[in-house]
Structure 1
Amino acid sequence: MAIERKVAIITGANTGVGYAIVQRLAAESTIPLTIILACRNKTRAQEALLSLQEHFDTQQQKYHKNQATTTIPFHYPQLKIELVDVGSASSVLAFNQRILEQHSRVDYLFCNAGILPSEGLMWGKIVTDMFKAPMSLVIRSDVLMQPKQHLTEDGIKGLEDVLSRTEEDPGRVIWTSSLTAEKASFSIDDWQGLEAVQPYESSKWVTDLLAIRLNEQWAGSCSEMDPVHSAGATGDSSSTSSGSGSESSAAQGGASTPTRRITRSTSKNAIASNTATSNKNKKHIISLSTQPGVVASGIGGLASWIVLLRIALHYVVRFFGERNQTISGFHGAQANVYVALKQPVGELDYRNKYGSCVRNFGGEFLRVEKVVEYDAGQAEVVVGRLEALRREVCEPSTYNLVDPKSPIVSGRLLAFLTNFLELFGEPTGITSFLCADAGLHVLRNKEYTEHPTTMPVWAPTQKMVQAATNDHDGSTLSGKEYLEELQKTADAQVANGVKSAVGGEHRFLTCRDFYKAYKSGQSTPVKVAEQLIERIQASAEVSPSLGAVWNWNKDKILQQAQASTFRYQAGRPLSIVDGVPVIVKDEIDIEGFETGVGTTFINKGNPAKEDAHLVALLRSHGALIIGKSTMHEIGLGITNFNPSTTTPRNPYRPEHSTGGSSGGSGAAVGSGLCPIAIGCDGGGSVRVPSSYCGIYGLKPTQGRVSGRGEYPLAPTVALSGPMCASMEDLSIVYAIIAGRDVQDPNSLLQPQVALPRPLKVRQQGQLQGLRIGIYRRWFEDVTHPEISQVCYKMLDSLVKDQGAVLVDIEIPELFENSKAHNITIAGEMLSKIGDNRKKLNHQSRLEMSMIASLRIQDYVRAQQQRTRSIRFLESLFGHKENDPHHHAQYPCLIGGQENGVVDVIVTPTIANLPPKVHAGAVSHGESNYLNNCKTMQFMTMANFTGIPGITAVAGYTQEGYTHYDGDQYETGLPIGIQFMSQWWDEKRLIHIASVCEQVLESHQKPKIWLGDYTL
C-alpha cells in the first residue's frame, strides 16, 4: 500500500538555504514528500528544479547501489514550482488559493524567503562600516542591501486549515530568522523597517516576534476569542511576515554572538529535551524560529574577489571559535530540517530559536537560544497591521481615504509662501495644482443626480418624537426634569452632611461639588471667584502660559459671584449650575465683550450688546460667565496655533497642542480652571480639543442648539456644544442650552430634549443589546497604534461587561465626504471674511488663497455629496428598512450584508496625537495638511451630515513615540473615543459616554493643574 506523501512548501527555494532545505528534507525524511518550490523568479526556479532533479537522480542511484547496507530509505520527492512574490500580499493570497485547490494538507511551511527585494547596496552604510566595522562589512553583506518596497505577509492565515493536523503530528511553520535579530533595531512606528538604520536586524526581530505570537494565538492565550478583535485588528489574525532581505541574501546571520543568553549543547537529544513549554493548541499547528548561522552564498553587486575573500574569512573566524559560521547553505539548513522532522514535537519549545552550527572539521550541532526579549505588545501590534494589510487585499472594501503628501511649513517660510501664492498662485496655476493635490477637485468628475442639501437639519420621524416624550421604562428625562433631579439629589446629600470633594486631591470638581459647597455654607461663589481670578492670572505668568483665557473682566466676575452668593444666602439658587465658572469660546456673543473670532480686527471696538441665546440660558440658571477663551483664528484650523492672539497649551503636556479651534476652552477645563466650557464645532472644534485635553465634548445634532448670537462663519456645518470634565456636567449644560429658539428657524424641527437618568453606581449590562457599528479599516487608520489599541480596550469593556454588540460596517465615499466638507466650511468662511482675509495670519491666508481658486460648481457638488452622505447614514441607521430601492442606491455593508441597523458608529476621536508647538508656529502659524487630515479624519462626517457626535476619555498613552514629522512624543497624552448616533439621539450618546466614564474610573493628573480650589 502506497504511503501518503507529506507536503512541504519552501519559500525562496531556488538558492541558498532554501535550496538546501529541499535537499536535506528529502534526504532525512522517512516519509515520501511533495515539495513545492515557492519562488518569485520563474527562470531561476526552473533552473533550481532541474538542478535538484539531477541531485536526486544521483541520490537515488547511490541508494539503489548501497540499498543492502543502508538503513535509511530514500524516497524520490515530487517537485513542483509555484510562483509567488512574498513582497506582494495579492500574490501571496493567490498562491494560497492555488494551494488550497490542489492540496488537502500541508505538513511543513518554511518561511525562508525575504520579503524585500533590493535595489542595490546601501553605499552610505558601506562607507561608514569601512571604518567602524570592517570585518562585518566583508562577511555580512546581506545587511547592506537597500530595501525597496513595503513588507506584506506570508499569508499563513490562508493556509491554517490545511496546515492543521493532529496533536501528535501538528503542521509546522518554520521561520528562517537570524543571529542578528535584535529588539533594539526595531521601532513599532517603523515596523516595516523602511527607515531603520539596521533594516535586516529589524525585520528578523519581527520574525522572532511572529514565530512566538502565532503559538500563543493558536493556543487561545491571546485575543483570538475576544469579541472586540475577532473580526479585526489583532484577534483572529494570523497574517505574518518573514522579514526583510533579498531572496539571494548572502548571510543569514552575523559574525558575533548576540548579547542574549545562549545555551550550548553537543547533541540534538540534549537540545530537544531543553523545553518546558507545551505545544498543544487548538489549531494543531506549531510555529518555530530557526537561524542558519552565517552562510556565504552569493549576493548580487559584489565582485567575485570579495566573495572569495569573504569565504576565506568565514573559515578563519570559525577556526577561532565562532561555530555559527556554517558557510554552506547545506549546513545552514540543518536547524530548519531538524525542527521539521523532530519527534515527538512536545520536545520542541516555541520560545527557543534553533540555530545551525558547525565545528572546524565539519561536524554539525545545534545551538538553542531563548528569545528573552520577546515583547507580546509589539507582536500583537505587528500581527494587527499585517491583518489589516490582508483585509485590504482579500476583502473588497469601499475604504478610500488616503493620507496626503505635503510639506510642513511654518515661520518665515510660511510667510514667504503665502505672499507668493497671493501674488502669483492664481495666474501661474500653482494654487489650482495645490488644490487638486489636496483632493479638492475630486468632486469635479463625479455625476450627481441628488439635489443639494445646504442645511442638514434632518426632520425627525414620528418614532423619534415619541421616544423623546414617552418614558415607558423610566430611563428618560426631559432637560428640566434632569436638572431638577440632580439638584434634588445634591440637596439630599447636603442635608445628610456629605461634603464636596477637594480639588487638590486631583479630582476634577463638578457642578455638584460647587453647588454642595455653596448650599452647605462650606464656601461661597465669591470665595471661588477670588480663587478663579488668582488662577487666571497665574496661568498667564507660567512659561509657557496656559493661554486659555483671552478676554475677561475681574469686576464682571466678582459682580456675578456676589449676586450668586446672595441667592444662596437667601436659599434660592437658580439651579445646580448657580455660581459655577463657565468659559465661552470667542466665537459666541457675551454682552459687553468683543466677539473677535480669534482675530485682532473682527468686532474691534464693537462689543456685543446682548448675550448669545445659549449664554443667556446659562445666565438664567446662574452660571458664572468668566469671559472668552482663545481659539484658532476664524476657526480655520485644528491646532489652535494663533500668532494673532495667543496659542494655548495642552495641560497634560504643555509642549503639545490643545487642538482646535476651541483650544482655549479645552485647556481651561483640562487644567481644572473651570468645570465647564462652551465650544463651537464646525469640523471637530469641540471634540478635537476635548480629546487632546482629556475631557468630554458633545457636538449636538444640527439644529439642536440655537445659533443665535454665534458668529456665522460656517453655519451649515457648525454649532455650539459643551466641553466638560465630567459627563454629569456635560449633561447639565446640554439640558440647559439644547432646545427650540423661536428666533432660529433651524432649531424648530427638533423633538423634545431627552436625557438618560444619571448613573448611580457602576454595574454591568448597562448597554445590553446596543449595536455599535465599527468600520475597522477606518478605525485602525491611525498614526500611532496605541490610539486604536486604547479604544479597542474601552470597547472590550463595553462588549464584555456592559452587553454591547460590535457590528462590522462599511461606509462608502469617506474621501468624497471629507473633501466636500473641506470645500463647504472653508468656502463659507471665505464668503463671510471677504476682503478682510488680508488681515489674517499667514496660515489662514494661505488656506483662503487656495479656497478662492475653487469654482462655484465645487461648492454645489459638495452639497450634492452631502445629500449622498446623509442617504448612506439613513441606510446605516435603519431609516429606509422597507425601501429596497434606497438600499440598492445607497448601500452600507452591515455585518457583511447590504442592510441592517446599528445604533451608533464608533471611532477613535482623532487619528493622531497632539502635535508639538514649535516657535515658528507660534510666531507665524503652521501649514500642515497631513496633520489636519488625520486630526479631522473622524470629525467631518458628523458636521457635514448633521448627526451628533460625542468624545469620551478612553485612556492615555503608555509609550513614547517618534512622530511622522520627527517629533518625540511623551507618555500620558489623553486618547479619546468617539460615538456618533442618528439625528436627535444625543440621549443615547450621553448614556454611552457616561458608561465609558465609569469604565475609566479616574483621570490622570495634568502637568498644568489649576483645579485645587478650596471649597
Structure 2
Amino acid sequence: MSNTTPQPEDGFYALVTGANSGLGFAICCRLIDEFLHTRPQSQTLVLIVTTRDIRKGDDAVARLQKHLQNACRKAEKSFPGVSMLLHRRVQFRQEILDLTSILSVQRLAKRLLFSTPKLNAAILNAGIGGWEGLNWPNAFYNLFTDWVNAVTYPTYKISGVGWLTKPQIPADGNAGRTEEPPVGEVFCANVFGHYLLCHYLAPLLSAHKADEGTVGRVIWLSSLEAYASAFSLEDFQGLASSMPYEASKRLTDILALTADLLSTTPLVTQYLTNDGPQRAAKNNPSTNTTKTSARRPKIYLTHPGICSTGIMPLHYFLALLMTAAFYIARWLGSQWHGVTASNGACAPAWVALAQQSTLDAMEEREGKAKWGSATDWWGKERVERTEVEGWGWGGVVGERIRKKGRWRHAKNLTERDRQQFEELGKECWEEMEQLRREWEGRLAAVGVGEEMN
C-alpha cells in the first residue's frame, strides 16, 4: 500500500507481523502504551502492521485507533490537555503480507525500502500451528497425572503432516508452470518467510546513526514447545514430522541464539547485508541510509509463555475450558501462564523498547537469552530468562540453575551440549542461507522475483 504520511524525523519504526488478532494485536497495544509512557515527547511511534488482506488490516488499524483513543482519554483525566499531544505521537501504517508466499515477502520489502527511512524493530509474530485436533485420551491422562506440565509442555496435539505452500512460481504469464521443490507451509509461515523479510529489510534495520545508542532489532517469537526432539536436520522443513510447529520453533531458537557466535558470524553478516536502500534512496528522499553508517542489527529471541489465542482450532466451549486450565496451572505455581494475550505480549514489547545499554549489559553478564513473558500467582507480569535444551539460560556452562518454571525433564548444560548446539546452529544458518539463495535464483530465472540484492 502506498504511504503519503510525512515521515517523522524522530520516529520509532516498529513492524509487527500478524497484527490483526491475538498476540500480534496485543503486542501492538503494548507498544503504544509503553511507548507513550517511556519515550520522549518529541518521539513518534510509527507502527507498521501486517495482515494477510486489506479487510483484516483495516479492522486492525481501526481497533488500534480505538485503543489509542482510550489511552489518551485515560491520560486526559490525570493531565488535562495532553490527549491531543499523545494522539499525534502514534502513526499507523498497514501492509499486506502472506508469509507463505516468497513473492509477497519481496513485494512488501520493496515497498518499505522505498517508503520508510529506517526500522527500529521487526517483531516476527505471525505464524500457523498446523494442528488438526487433540489426542483426548492422552490429554486427559496428562492433565490428571501432571496438570502444570501437561498445559505447559503439551505433547498431545495432533498436527497435519506434509502441509505445503501453494506453488511459489505463478503458472500464468511468461513463466508458465515450472517445476519447483516443495516448501513446508508451517516452516515457511513460521520461519522462512520471516527470515527472507528481515534479509531484505536489513538496510532499514541498519540505518541508525552512531549517536542514537541503539541498533535495529529483529525479534523472533518462539514458544515453550520448541522441543529438541521435534527438529531434525534431515527433515529441515518438518515435512515428514508429526510436530512441524514445534520443529519450526526449535529452529527459531537455534538460529536466534547462535546469531552472535564467532562460528556463525560470516553467515549472519552475509544474511544481514543488503544494498537495497542505496537504490531506494535515489527515489525516496525520506530514506536517510546514505547519511548514516550501517550498524548490523541484533537478533533477539522471545516467547509469550502460555496464553489463550486462536492459533489452536477449538470449539468456543473447549477454548473456555482451555483458558480455565491455564488459570489453574498459574494458581498451582506456573510462572508461564499469563493466560491473556496482553500478558503474553510483555516480553516482545519489552525487548523492542528497552534501552540498548540495558539489553547489552544483561546479555554480557549472563549470556544470550530467550526472553519469556512470565507472571506471578496474581497475574503480575515480568520478563524471565527461559531454559533452552542444549543452551541453558544463557549458553554458559555452570550458570545459575533456575528451578521456577523449569521443564520436568530438563538437564543441566554441559560443555558437550553447548558445543553440539553451536555446531547445529552453524549448520542451520548454512541451510537457511542456501535455501534463500536457491529461491531467489529460481524466481529470478523465470522473471517473477523482485530484484532485492
TM-score scaled to structure 2, two decimals?
A: 0.68
The offset of 1:20, in angstroms, is 0.9
User: Does 2:201 align with 1:159?
Assistant: yes
2:30 to 24, 28, 50: 24
Q: Which amino acid aligns with 2:160?
A: Q
Q: Which amino acid aligns with 2:336?
A: N
C-alpha change, 1:138 and 1:286, in structure 2 (3 Å) is: closer
Is the Cα–Cα contact under 8 Å of residues 238 and 383 in structure 1 kept in the other structure?
no
After TM superposition, the structure 1 = structure 2 runs for residues 315-394 of structure 1, keeping only pairs within 5 Å, are 315-343=327-355, 344=357, 345-349=359-363, 351-371=368-388, 373-374=390-391, 375-394=421-440
User: Does 2:299 align with 1:287?
Assistant: yes
C-alpha change, 1:144 and 1:60, in structure 2 (3 Å) is: farther
Quick one: distance in 1 between partners of 2:294 and 2:319?
47
Quick one: distance in 1 between partners of 2:109 and 2:386?
32
Residue of structure 2 in register with 1:599 after alignment: none
Residue of structure 2 in register with 1:48 after alignment: 60
After TM superposition, the structure 1 = structure 2 runs for residues 88-167 of structure 1, keeping only pairs within 5 Å, are 88-114=101-127, 116=128, 118=130, 121=132, 123=133, 126-127=135-136, 129-130=138-139, 132-134=141-143, 143-146=157-160, 148-149=163-164, 150=184, 151=188, 152-154=192-194, 155=196, 156-164=198-206, 165-166=208-209
Residue of structure 1 in register with 2:175 after alignment: none
Matched residues, number: 343
Quick one: distance in 2 between partners of 1:360 and 1:69?
38
2:14 to 8, 12, 36: 8
Deviations 1:485-531 (A, max 9, x none): xxxxxxxxxxxxxxxxxxxxxxxxxxxxxxxxxxxxxxxxxxxxxxx
Deviations 1:599-626 (A, max 9, x none): xxxxxxxxxxxxxxxxxxxxxxxxxxxx
Q: Which amino acid aligns with 2:224?
A: L
C-alpha change, 1:304 and 1:397, in structure 2 (3 Å) is: closer
TM-score scaled to structure 1, two decimals?
A: 0.32
After TM superposition, the structure 1 = structure 2 runs for residues 584-983 of structure 1, keeping only pairs within 5 Å, are none
The offset of 1:391, in angstroms, is 2.5
- Which range moved further: 340-349 or 141-150? 141-150
Residue of structure 1 in register with 2:232 after alignment: 187
Greater helix share, structure number:
2
Residue of structure 1 in register with 2:259 after alignment: 214
The offset of 1:363, in angstroms, is 1.3
C-alpha change, 1:80 and 1:117, in structure 2 (3 Å) is: farther
Residue of structure 2 in register with 1:843 after alignment: none
Quick one: distance in 1 between partners of 2:90 and 2:156?
31
Quick one: distance in 2 between partners of 1:128 and 1:388?
42
SS at match of 1:153: helix
After TM superposition, the structure 1 = structure 2 runs for residues 257-276 of structure 1, keeping only pairs within 5 Å, are none
Q: Name which one, 1 or 2, has greater alpha-carbon Rg.
A: 1
Q: Which amino acid aligns with 2:239?
A: L
The offset of 1:299, in angstroms, is 4.4
Quick one: distance in 2 between partners of 1:355 and 1:223?
25
Taking every aligned residue pair, what percent have the same amino acid on both sides? 27
The offset of 1:138, in angstroms, is 7.2
Quick one: distance in 2 between partners of 1:205 and 1:46?
33
Residue of structure 1 in register with 2:92 after alignment: 79
The offset of 1:143, in angstroms, is 4.9
Is the Cα–Cα contact under 8 Å of residues 37 and 45 in structure 1 kept in the other structure?
yes
Higher normalized contact order (CA 8 Å, seq sep 6+, divided by chain length): 2
Residue of structure 2 in register with 1:237 after alignment: 271
Is the Cα–Cα contact under 8 Å of residues 325 and 357 in structure 1 kept in the other structure?
yes
Residue of structure 1 in register with 2:319 after alignment: 307
Q: Which amino acid aligns with 2:119?
A: V
Is the Cα–Cα contact under 8 Å of residues 135 and 157 in structure 2 kept in the other structure?
no
SS at match of 2:428: helix
Is the Cα–Cα contact under 8 Å of residues 28 and 47 in structure 2 kept in the other structure?
yes
Structure 1 unaligned blocks of 5 or more = 225-229, 240-280, 401-895, 897-1015
User: Does 2:248 align with 1:203?
Assistant: yes
Quick one: distance in 2 between partners of 1:203 and 1:179?
12
Structure 2 unaligned blocks of 5 or more = 1-7, 165-183, 274-292, 392-420, 447-452
The offset of 1:25, in angstroms, is 0.7
Is the Cα–Cα contact under 8 Å of residues 339 and 348 in structure 1 kept in the other structure?
no
The offset of 1:319, in angstroms, is 0.4
User: Does 2:210 align with 1:176?
Assistant: no
SS at match of 1:310: helix
Is the Cα–Cα contact under 8 Å of residues 151 and 329 in structure 2 kept in the other structure?
no
Q: Which amino acid aligns with 1:237?
A: Y
After TM superposition, the structure 1 = structure 2 runs for residues 994-1009 of structure 1, keeping only pairs within 5 Å, are none
Is the Cα–Cα contact under 8 Å of residues 175 and 288 in structure 1 kept in the other structure?
yes
Residue of structure 1 in register with 2:47 after alignment: 35
SS at match of 2:220: strand
After TM superposition, the structure 1 = structure 2 runs for residues 527-538 of structure 1, keeping only pairs within 5 Å, are none
C-alpha change, 1:132 and 1:146, in structure 2 (3 Å) is: farther
SS at match of 1:222: helix
Is the Cα–Cα contact under 8 Å of residues 289 and 354 in structure 1 kept in the other structure?
yes
SS at match of 1:389: helix
Quick one: distance in 2 between partners of 1:21 and 1:292?
10
Quick one: distance in 2 between partners of 1:170 and 1:68?
35
The offset of 1:300, in angstroms, is 6.1
The offset of 1:130, in angstroms, is 3.8
C-alpha change, 1:314 and 1:215, in structure 2 (3 Å) is: same
CA RMSD after TM alignment: 3.2
Q: Which amino acid aligns with 1:157?
A: H
